[in-house]
Structure 1
Amino acid sequence: MRESMEFDVVIVGAGPAGLSAACRLMQQAAEAGQSLEVCVVEKGSEVGAHILSGAVFERRALEELFPDWQERGAPLNTAVTEDRLYLLRDEQQALRIPDALVPPSLHNPGNHVISLGNLVRWLGEQAEALGVQIFPGFAATEVLYHEDGRVKGVATGDMGVAADGSHKHGFTPGIELHARYTLFAEGCRGSLGKQLIQQFDLNAGADAQHYGLGIKELWDIDPALHQPGLVVHGSGWPLQGESGGFFLYHGDNHQVVVGLIVDLNYHNPHLSPFEAFQQLKQHPVLSAYLSGGKRLCYGARAIAKGGFNSLGKAGFPGGLLIGCESGTLNFAKIKGSHTAMKSGILAAETVFAALTQEASGTDLQADFSARFQASWLYQELYQARNFGPALHKLGSTLGGAFNLLEQRLVAGKWPLTLHDRQADHLQLQTLQESAPIRYPKPDGVLSFDRLSSVFLSNTNHEDNQPCHLKLADPDLPLQENLPLYDEPAQRYCPAGVYEVIRAEDNTPLRLQINSQNCVHCKTCDIKDPAQNITWTCPEGGGGPNYPNM
């Protein structure tokens, strides 16, 4: 029998959306002179441990939530000073795009280069000061329902379960967290959010959600090469024929962050996003800054980039999906933190109104939808609705031209909406249809292997626990994925989790899952062509621990 705790609101996930919602709930309660019990449960070992983003940050939502953010010491220390956009033609050549030909959404005046993890840690401090209870190291693994089907809360996972399902010494059962309303802010492809979308058919009528895999490193570089506030974006090589792009941001303390986003609608099963990223760093546009530097940290995370057209319903009986859980990232800006925060603020105002009305039957979806449509968040996402579909349908050259014209001439208000309704996992071609790709071996200076990279993510999972990567059909990877695609999980996973173990005569024996390496990026759950892999939460506190990421 599990113990239970009662709250007014339970929030799953201590990211920008979840913590913004928690803060706004407590602000409203204080303004109304009311008492409110709000709990945030976070699977990471600490607040910010699992947070990974570029990040160039737009302050709009932060200024609404905390107008005195500067006095409070929010870690926004490096203002953007310059934007540069490149098209990489090959491993040596690059074309810098004139500013006049860069879509307005990729200009960043007034924005800041930040560590989103550090901003989230700061938000956690603000939330706790307002009276929010935050429980890091506890993974919400189950949605709880009332008898009438309304969401009742969540249960955290058991601690101390062995791989065979037996209880180890120190076994502790999970706890049920009951709430009048539950907000799910797990981030992109949340495991519980995925269940809720299916349970309540929340995506009915929306385009398929689209995703990208973002891989990022933090570097110390030569102070003479450091330009605080310089923001570099680009596309092209080494992703010829596939969509995606790179970034390099100069932060503070002589550090830069460098990364590659690979759209997960890619076609060639030989593509390895990790190896493409390592190859990318050899290009002079990036190596000019990285040479002589030291790599400090590595991480990877999927992003939901379908935008406005892929937004389903956020509300269901008893709760809401918020932030990247519902897909609020603005891909035209390559930014999702400010939009996640705004969705959390809107959700908090929706839920507080429902709480004060004392009406358990309040239609959260209708109220949230009305608030969303009246907000700048709706306007921003609507204006960017064609950005991703244009690139997918027309390619980077024609799609880029379309986006430039639409954004510059009519600010995204053409009476035309492009759609991309085919899911990313359906896009893979077979081996016979695809050209092989050969990547150079890592040099240990600018490019590295997966295992040394995972080491820098500080990833750790409790030994002897059930594998959190579930195969619906354990035979399918070798029987179907291997002959058709050479089992693409070996390449799309940026952490070396999936390995096909072969015998000496080169016949495959088995698919080995190195779940200890998992950085919780969710790519396998998204890209597997048979949708045979389900990512579930491991024991709480496991996974990466990102500093300054």
Structure 2
Amino acid sequence: MEREFMEYDVVVVGAGPAGLSAACRLKQLQPDVSVCVVEKGSEVGAHILSGAVLEPTALTELFPDWKERQAPLHTAVSEDNIYLMQSGESAMSIPNLFAPYTMHNEGNYIISLGNLCRWLAEQAEALEVEVFPGFTAAEVLFDDNNCVAGIITGDMGVGVNGEEKDSYTPGMELRAKYTLFAEGCRGHLGKQLIEHYKLDEGKDPQHYGIGIKELWKIPADKHKQGLVVHSAGWPLSESGSAGGGFLYHFEDNQVAVGLITDLSYSNPYVSPFDEFQRYKHHPKIAQYLEGGERIAYGARAITKGGLQSQPKMHFAGGLLIGDDAGTLNFAKIKGSHTAMKSGMVAAEVVNKALQAGSSQTDLVEFEQAYKESWAYKELHAQRNFGPAQHKWGNLLGSAYAFIDMNIFRGALPWTLRDPKPDYAQMVPAKDAKPINYPKPDNKLSFDKLSSVFLSNTNHEEDQPVHLKLIDPSLPIDKNLPLYNEPAQRYCPAGVYEVVEDAAGKRFQINAQNCVHCKTCDIKDPLQNITWVTPEGGGGPNYPNM
């Protein structure tokens, strides 16, 4: 069909730290270049969720005067506590001396990444970047030579039956000389591009975790501004899973509390949401939350495969940056600084290409520029942390990490591999132990639906379901008898249900609840669920995450 179009030098997909850093750096280098950023959230920051402790290295490179510009970095880390949770009651404190040095946070800041992205968008707009929130990048635009030539935004006003409503507005082509894909973990278009161009050939499969987070307002006498708490072990150790928890004290008597569950878990009865609810009852965590008020909730998958799983990031007409390519440093539980740096490197390479008059070429020079950056060198030094955790678990894996990173500084002459994808780890339900999670007490622990309410999630109800089943029969015919349909448990938003009525059992998708975490797209053992973009502006609306 004929669509309206707009032309730019560069189109950036996603207003996260990578995409906005790339846009800002491009305009710093060449003010005349035309750049637009497309963001599917209702506003910049609406879909951003991270812990977050920020290492300000990349921010300082991008805006050395960020303090004068009033960047929202208000709470410097003042203290690190690390615990090995041994049960629901006991915990062993790990002295900083024996923790991997990547867990030390001197010089870092506890922040809302959503607020940092809002601030970065303001800087971008001041540099005359065009930022378009509320518009999805629904399709990749290819030219006749199989080069990426931009993106097509999503149609608006399509009914659940696929027919055009009175409000129908077709998507627009945003044409570009170069397109940067910065959609975050398991990007909808990034996933397609990796497959289309075989960018992951020869690489380990990507590995993931799901991070579930809440914001709490706590009593002033329990608040310790600047305190960072990390933990491993219980409750995930009870179900044979891996991952870790966090609790960060930032300003205004608020804390961020969360749990990252490694999506390589094998027991189909595991519910990351319920593991998180249990986590908050541990005395080391509950001591801060008791008497407080939960004010926000959200969930998001993270990429944690490291360099071994990182696809080739360049292709004809564009680049993958940030967590679309998997730049998170899992050894630090941080990815914003490396995502920002990948975007800045991309901007520098694209700027040189534009100055040379090229368009829609394969920017092979990005690979060398990225390898020369501190971001790549950091990820290379810490490349074995994730595979070690998968091979040997939290305790032995962390012991290996201590030797590798603290003693040898990542210079050991081997690279551990992790070749089995997360979705293939699940064992049949008959071979697994059911887990009886405690009922929520509505003081520290809560149910899924009240949690989703706090995420401010909303979708236009009369639209096609954006969670696509390749074969609609598989959930009931295969996943239910084999795995007791694990989507009921791995989804942290109550999207998937097995409903029984007079006609029998059926698989129900409550797409309205979706917080866009992408876990279903990752963990379904039959790889039968594909997450696609809903109408622009749909999904969570995180105010301060």
TM class by shorter chain equals: over 0.9
Aligned to 2:97: 100
**Secondary structure, counterpart of 1:51 in structure 2:** coil
Structure 1: how far apart are the matches of 2:164 and 2:147?
Answer: 32
Aligned to 1:448: 446
Equivalent of residue 208 in structure 2, options 207, 211, 214: 211
Question: Do the aligned residues in 2 keep the contact of 1:478 with 1:508 (CA within 8 Å)?
Answer: no
Counterpart of 2:542 in structure 1: which amino acid? Answer: Y
Shift of 1:432: 1.4
Structure 1 stretch 93-102 or stretch 337-346: which is displaced more?
Answer: 93-102
The reply to whether residue 159 of structure 1 matches residue 156 of structure 2 is yes
Superposed CA offset, 1:264-294 (max 9, x none): 0000000000011011101101100000000
Aligned to 2:17: 16
Structure 2: how far apart are the matches of 1:98 and 1:63?
Answer: 30
Aligned to 1:498: 496
Equivalent of residue 476 in structure 1, options 465, 474, 477: 474
Shift of 1:509: 1.8
Aligned to 1:534: 530
**Secondary structure, counterpart of 1:203 in structure 2:** coil
Structure 1: how far apart are the matches of 2:206 and 2:180?
Answer: 20
Structure 1: how far apart are the matches of 2:539 and 2:201?
Answer: 33
Question: Do the aligned residues in 2 keep the contact of 1:500 with 1:508 (CA within 8 Å)?
Answer: no
Aligned to 2:8: 7
Q: 1:407-486, aligned counterparts within 5 Å? A: 407-486=405-484
* Gaps in structure 2 of 5+ consecutive residues: none
The reply to whether residue 547 of structure 1 matches residue 527 of structure 2 is no
The reply to whether residue 114 of structure 1 matches residue 111 of structure 2 is yes
Structure 1: how far apart are the matches of 2:37 and 2:97?
Answer: 45
Question: Do the aligned residues in 1 keep the contact of 2:136 with 2:153 (CA within 8 Å)?
Answer: yes
Structure 2: how far apart are the matches of 1:24 and 1:384?
Answer: 27
Counterpart of 1:546 in structure 2: which amino acid? Answer: Y
Aligned to 2:304: 305
Superposed CA offset, 1:81-132 (max 9, x none): 0001111111111111122111100000000000000000000000000000
Question: Do the aligned residues in 1 keep the contact of 2:142 with 2:149 (CA within 8 Å)?
Answer: yes
Q: 1:273-352, aligned counterparts within 5 Å? A: 273-352=272-351
Shift of 1:360: 3.1
Structure 2: how far apart are the matches of 1:194 and 1:329?
Answer: 17
Question: Do the aligned residues in 2 keep the contact of 1:153 with 1:182 (CA within 8 Å)?
Answer: yes
Structure 2: how far apart are the matches of 1:157 and 1:312?
Answer: 26
Aligned to 2:199: 202
Counterpart of 1:470 in structure 2: which amino acid? Answer: K
Structure 2: how far apart are the matches of 1:361 and 1:153?
Answer: 9
Shift of 1:201: 0.4
Q: 1:39-50, aligned counterparts within 5 Å? A: 39-50=36-47
Structure 1: how far apart are the matches of 2:261 and 2:310?
Answer: 21
Counterpart of 2:480 in structure 1: which amino acid? Answer: L
Q: 1:170-181, aligned counterparts within 5 Å? A: 170-181=167-178
Identity percentage of aligned residues: 63
**Secondary structure, counterpart of 1:286 in structure 2:** helix
The reply to whether residue 143 of structure 1 matches residue 144 of structure 2 is no
Counterpart of 1:544 in structure 2: which amino acid? Answer: P
Aligned to 1:250: 249
Shift of 1:363: 3.5
Aligned to 1:68: 65
Shift of 1:404: 0.5
Closer, same or farther in 2 for the Cα pair 1:381/1:256, shift >3 Å? Answer: same
Aligned to 1:125: 122
Structure 1: how far apart are the matches of 2:74 and 2:393?
Answer: 37
TM-score in terms of structure 2 length: 0.99
Counterpart of 1:518 in structure 2: which amino acid? Answer: C
Shift of 1:258: 0.1
Counterpart of 1:405 in structure 2: which amino acid? Answer: I
Counterpart of 1:354 in structure 2: which amino acid? Answer: A
Structure 2: how far apart are the matches of 1:421 and 1:96?
Answer: 33
Equivalent of residue 223 in structure 1, options 217, 220, 224: 220
Question: Do the aligned residues in 2 keep the contact of 1:54 with 1:259 (CA within 8 Å)?
Answer: yes
Shift of 1:508: 4.7
Counterpart of 2:467 in structure 1: which amino acid? Answer: L
Shift of 1:395: 1.6
RMSD in angstroms over aligned alpha carbons?
A: 0.9
**Secondary structure, counterpart of 2:344 in structure 1:** helix
Counterpart of 1:260 in structure 2: which amino acid? Answer: L
Structure 2: how far apart are the matches of 1:375 and 1:192?
Answer: 26
Superposed CA offset, 1:17-36 (max 9, x none): 00000000000003xxxx11
**Secondary structure, counterpart of 2:298 in structure 1:** strand
Question: Do the aligned residues in 1 keep the contact of 2:178 with 2:359 (CA within 8 Å)?
Answer: no
Aligned to 2:182: 185
Equivalent of residue 35 in structure 2, options 12, 16, 38: 38
The number of aligned residues is 542
Question: Do the aligned residues in 1 keep the contact of 2:7 with 2:176 (CA within 8 Å)?
Answer: yes
Question: Do the aligned residues in 2 keep the contact of 1:54 with 1:257 (CA within 8 Å)?
Answer: yes
Counterpart of 2:309 in structure 1: which amino acid? Answer: S
Counterpart of 2:409 in structure 1: which amino acid? Answer: A
Shift of 1:361: 6.4
**Secondary structure, counterpart of 1:204 in structure 2:** coil
Question: Do the aligned residues in 1 keep the contact of 2:149 with 2:360 (CA within 8 Å)?
Answer: no
**Secondary structure, counterpart of 1:463 in structure 2:** coil
Question: Do the aligned residues in 1 keep the contact of 2:295 with 2:454 (CA within 8 Å)?
Answer: yes
Question: Do the aligned residues in 1 keep the contact of 2:178 with 2:360 (CA within 8 Å)?
Answer: no
Superposed CA offset, 1:386-419 (max 9, x none): 0000010112222111100111111011001111
Counterpart of 2:330 in structure 1: which amino acid? Answer: F
Superposed CA offset, 1:10-63 (max 9, x none): 000000000000000000003xxxx11101000000000000000000000000
Aligned to 1:134: 131
Structure 2: how far apart are the matches of 1:190 and 1:138?
Answer: 15
The reply to whether residue 510 of structure 1 matches residue 506 of structure 2 is yes
Counterpart of 1:145 in structure 2: which amino acid? Answer: F
Structure 2: how far apart are the matches of 1:399 and 1:456?
Answer: 35
Structure 1 stretch 45-54 or stretch 237-246: which is displaced more?
Answer: 237-246
Superposed CA offset, 1:320-369 (max 9, x none): 000000000000000000000000000001111110111236441x2111
Structure 1: how far apart are the matches of 2:464 and 2:360?
Answer: 39
Shift of 1:502: 1.5
Question: Do the aligned residues in 1 keep the contact of 2:42 with 2:541 (CA within 8 Å)?
Answer: yes
Structure 2: how far apart are the matches of 1:72 and 1:411?
Answer: 35
Aligned to 1:389: 387
Superposed CA offset, 1:228-255 (max 9, x none): 1100000111111211000000010000
Structure 1: how far apart are the matches of 2:140 and 2:525?
Answer: 27
